[in-house]
Chain A
Amino acid sequence: MPANAVSVRDVSKTFRVYHDRNQSLKATVLKRGRAKYEEFWALKGVDLDIAEGQTFGLLGRNGSGKSTLLKCIAGILTPNTGSITTRGRVAAMLEVGSGFHPELSGRENIYLNGAILGMTKQEVDRKLDAIVDFSGVERFIDHPVKNYSSGMYVRLGFSVSIHTEPDLLLVDEVLAVGDMEFQAKCQEKFAALKRDGKTVVVVSHDLGTMRTFCDRAAWLDHGELQAVGRASTIVDKYADDNHHVHGVEGGGKRHGTGEVRFTKAALLDEDGREVTEIRPDQPVTLRMHYDAPRGFESPNFSATINTMHGQRMWAIIAQDRGFLPTRLEPGSGTVDIAIAGLPLQPAEYEIGVEVRGIDEPEPADSVQAISKFAMRRAAETYGGMLAIESAFVDFSTGLTSDRAAS
């Protein structure tokens, strides 16, 4: 039984939400005491053990308290009650490039940032080459960082952080920095930390990453611990629970001439019932409801399915498919799109819809996220972004190498 890298015991944390934030002596004297405030419970009686060598995910909606918990573990925030014990060197990657000074060179900032993250000079000396190499900014290492592109800045900061080589690494949503190549390097580095038996605690909204990256996970809601267990189990539970959240408030970004207005878009199952959660292998119909009070000539409809982060998973444009009604008569109506299946990982997705006259530069109506739906988990578990039916089918072993024979 490995020891615990982190033990969280009955931790509660409240924040004061001030009605009239008035940080002045006068107000304090006159009102006898601080300005009026309400207590907001960010964490309520959280108990959690994270074993050494685990990669642990913290899941939850915005404001669920996961970042607060991470900051409490890091020692940045102090809980009101309860205790948190950590073992070994802790490094928190809540931000990259903490304390970077824009006027100082990349090299000077490496030493500065390293010191802030708890490294000694000898340690930075030793790792300098590796840090510079990893960041990929060798050519500019003696230039002031204010001249860096945002990508270079982030890469350098990340590179210093990851080379802290702590026993316990706390990461908040910074897994996705830099370009594809750099991201691959980061993943490798995290994998190496894992192999070395280091403990990593990650906060992320990206369910796919959580599922593939973490061994175990905890799910927080309104500051309370909902469940702890195997990462894939917790991610599924979380995704299943979130299906009832749909109908995007305000519909995301909306623009267009207004000649046509979408009133609704929904997924229908095989029986024509509206559903807000589907399975990857389930055939569905996407029905768009519109209003065209004065009619509309040669409409070109399109629809998209996007992740909550706005990444496009699927798109279809009527013109490409030769689906071109000559006109929409005054009044309202619907357009149906048949979808054989959406082999996507469990998560929430948004539906975007658009209609414009053929070759018109301006859409009549375009809604970025008119509604949401939740993907339930497939029968089997997969990693990555797609849930495609697949299976291990063959196996061979003990083959003699050709090189040895020749």
Chain B
Amino acid sequence: MTVSTPPTARVTINLLKNLTLREVRSEYKRTVLGRVWSLVNPLAQIAVFSIVFGLIFGMQAEPGINSGVHSFPIWIGIGVIVWGFISGSIRAGMGALMANAGLLQKVALPRWVLVLSKVLALVFTFLIELAVICVVMALVGGWQIILTLPLLLPLLLVTAAFTLGIGLMLSVATVYFRDIEHLWSIVVQVWMYASGVVFPVSLVASKQAELDAQGVTVLGMPVPLLAVFEYNPAQVLLSMYRNVLYDFAAPSMGDWLVVSLWAVAALVVGGLVFRRFSRNIVEEL
């Protein structure tokens, strides 16, 4: 046990701010395009998905409820950047301790700050991407976007809390078991397709109805295809962002409740795991 005066909130906030700035400032240093890269990447992905799923597979998105916008690329674009933030911030959070091994071995600091600063740096990038989407939607769908725009703030908060919780948990786990990093790459791939990034969940629902009609079962139960999507917090989050940005509509109270519970659960479990296991990570680094 080591008892020492804990740093004051101001010191911790300053540390958080500086570490976040370090991430933000250094990410695109010495590149010609600089911060533009953070937009080029999702744009390329949106283009690929639009061509493959929209053009070749002929997939359609429902027109936006209040916006009346009917554009598969924009619909998929929202999915790509929201998913990009969720998966990206979890990955950055889980690697935060390993990436700062040198610092952890030499300086005593509140360790969770390292994970949070990685998430916050990505929140910054995410905000820029959201701003671009907002501008595009305002041009295509009209000024009414302003009515639902404030909902983005609590939505962003819940999303970040969720990814932070998981990031905290995985960051200590990775220190003890390096395999998790590689295992996670597989999980993320599966998770992406189960989050309805590139196709609407209505497609899954119709497939589910088809399977049920054919009487296909797994262990005597109906195939839980749709359930995988419906209980997936990332899918719910994605659909909520689409509500706000694509439909200009408020997400349902049920969705708010589900994602809030997920966020709180992830934060509590992640926080507890982190507190319990982060004490002795320096010996394992």
Contacts and interface: CB of A to CB of B under 8 A. Distances in A.
Interface of A: 15-16, 23-26, 28, 71-79, 82-90, 92, 94-95, 98-99, 101, 103-104, 108, 111-112, 114-121
Given A115-B17, A116-B15, A75 B176 contact: no
12 contacts: A23-B179, A25-B183, A72-B2, A74-B108, A76-B107, A77-B283, A78-B279, A84-B2, A86-B2, A99-B100, A101-B22, A112-B18
Contacts of B100: 99
Interface of B: 1-5, 7, 10-11, 14-15, 17-19, 21-22, 25-26, 29-30, 100, 102-109, 176-180, 183, 279-280, 282-283
B177 A25 contact: yes
Contact of B29 (A78, A88, A103, A117): A103
B255 to A, nearest CB: 35
B10 A120 contact: yes
A120 B14 CA distance: 6
Contacts of B25: 101, 103-104, 108
A95 B106 contact: yes
B108 A104 contact: no
Contact of A85 (B4, B10, B178): B4
A94 B19 CA distance: 20
A243 to B, nearest CB: 34
Contacts of B108: 74-76, 90, 92
A77 B282 CA distance: 7
Nearest to B109: A116
Contacts of A94: 106-107
A112 B24 CA distance: 13
Nearest to A144: B29
Contacts of B282: 71, 76-77
A75 B111 CA distance: 11
A99 B103 contact: yes
A86 B3 contact: yes
B17 A103 contact: no
Contacts of A119: 11, 14
A89 B8 CA distance: 10
B1 A79 contact: yes
Contacts of B3: 83-86
B30 A103 contact: yes
The residue among B5, B22, B179 with the most chain A CB atoms within 10 A of its own CB is B22
A50 B153 CA distance: 51
B175 to A, nearest CB: 9
Contacts of A108: 21, 25
Contact of A75 (B2, B10, B21, B183): B2
A116 B26 contact: no
B107 A116 contact: yes
B107 A99 contact: yes
B107 A78 contact: no
Contacts of B106: 76, 92, 94-95, 98
Given A103-B29, A118-B7, 4 more contacts: A23-B178, A25-B180, A90-B4, A101-B25
B107 A117 contact: yes
B28 to A, nearest CB: 10
Contacts of A87: 5
A112 B19 contact: yes
Contacts of A117: 107
A336 B174 CA distance: 62
The residue among B5, B18, B25, B280 with the most chain A CB atoms within 10 A of its own CB is B18
Contact of A121 (B14, B176, B183): B14
A115 B177 contact: no
A401 B199 CA distance: 95
B283 A16 contact: yes
A85 to B, nearest CB: 5
A86 B105 contact: no
Contact of B107 (A15, A24, A92, A101): A92
B179 to A, nearest CB: 5
A75 B282 CA distance: 11
B177 A78 contact: no
B24 to A, nearest CB: 11
A115 B179 CA distance: 32
Contact of A104 (B4, B26, B102, B177): B26
Contact of B11 (A24, A74, A92, A120): A120
Nearest to A72: B2
A83 B29 CA distance: 45
B137 to A, nearest CB: 35
Contacts of B102: 95, 98
B22 to A, nearest CB: 5
Given A78-B279, A94-B106, A103 B18 contact: no
Contacts of B176: 23
A115 B14 contact: yes
A119 B1 CA distance: 24
Contacts of B177: 23-25, 28
Nearest to A82: B1
A142 to B, nearest CB: 14
Nearest to A13: B283
A283 B179 CA distance: 64
Contacts of A77: 282-283
A114 B17 CA distance: 12
B238 to A, nearest CB: 30
Across the A-B interface, the 10 shortest Cβ-Cβ residue pairs: A115-B18, A75-B108, A103-B29, A95-B106, A86-B4, A115-B15, A85-B3, A83-B1, A94-B106, A84-B2
B271 to A, nearest CB: 18
A117 B25 CA distance: 20
A337 to B, nearest CB: 45
Given A74-B108, A92-B107, A115-B14, A101 B26 contact: yes
B5 A88 contact: yes
Nearest to B4: A86
Given A24-B179, A101-B22, A118 B30 contact: no
A188 to B, nearest CB: 25
A349 to B, nearest CB: 32
B87 to A, nearest CB: 21
Contacts of A103: 25-26, 29-30
Contact of A112 (B2, B4, B22, B279): B22
